[in-house]
Structure 1
Amino acid sequence: MAFDHYKEMLERARNEVPEDIREEKKFEPPNVEIRREAGNTIILNWNKLVKAVNDQEKVFLRFLAHELGTHGETERGKTTFKGSHSARKINQLVEEFINVYIICSECGRPDTKLQKEKGRLLKKCQACGAWQFVEPP
């Protein structure tokens, strides 16, 4: 009797989980596509990268600019950073950003959202409900 009740509750809980979270899939961000122009590095596929980091564009831009030690600005789907930076270096930084700000430390899923909480940056997992404070870039 109790087991039937448990199975019913479990089925209800599974039905509440969004379909895209239920799917088991390996998270792979797109590789950075760059062009160098007039002493600047332009990321051509910025919008794809922003989608890969759950639309956390402001935090992502700040993180990359901070780690590259330069200024960055976004315009019409492209982002320009002052100076010459390799695609390899930027790809490494994208991976680092994802590991710190996107991947849930409890369940390993990329289904997190960042939000400000009492002046701090909170990473909250939509899949398992875990949360943790992360240092802003």
Structure 2
Amino acid sequence: MEDYEKLLDEAYSSVKKIDSKHERFEIPKVDVQIVGNKTILSNFIQIISYIRRTPEQVCKFLTKELASLGKIENDRLILNRKISTAQVQDKLNLYVKKYVLCSQCGKPDTEIIKQDNLQFIHCLACGAKHSLGR
């Protein structure tokens, strides 16, 4: 029994300490400005660099979900109608849940890969891979 406890102590001492912060992945709050009939997401580039996705992927998702035409201009996303900050934040949270967080371990350390005309989310933390379809 003493050998087991000694081995267990050695194992615990060799494991890296986990960050004390409960949730290490926090999506930046969107900075939305409404100018006329347009909604401008000013911190769009900061957000996509944080979630490690391409501007085109996130833009396509947001414009589809928010039922608005949109374009990326000067590091900002411009949507062609008035949309509240809460709506944009909700849709961004949905994107992160669907396309960034691993469905197995819940970590954000993922990448989108293409294989045989299908897209997959590959988790760099646990190695899981699941299909997004075409």
Superposed CA deviations along residues 54-111 of structure 1, whole A, max 9, x for unmatched, are 1332211110000011111112211101100011001000110001100001111000
Of residues 55-64 and 107-116 in structure 1, the stretch that sits farther from structure 2 once superposed is 55-64
Residue of structure 2 equivalent to 1:91: 89
- Give the letter aligned to residue 96 of structure 2: I
**1:125 counterpart = 2:123:** yes
Q: TM-score, normalised by structure 2?
A: 0.80
**1:70 counterpart = 2:68:** yes
- Sequence identity percentage: 24
Could you tell me whether the CA contact under 8 Å between 1:56 and 1:114 is conserved in 2? no
Length, aligned pairs only: 121
Q: TM-score, normalised by structure 1?
A: 0.78
Q: Give distance in 2, aligned partners of 1:28 and 1:78.
A: 20
Pick one of 100, 119, 122 that aligns with 1:102.
Answer: 100
**Structure 2: gaps of 5 or more residues:** 1-6
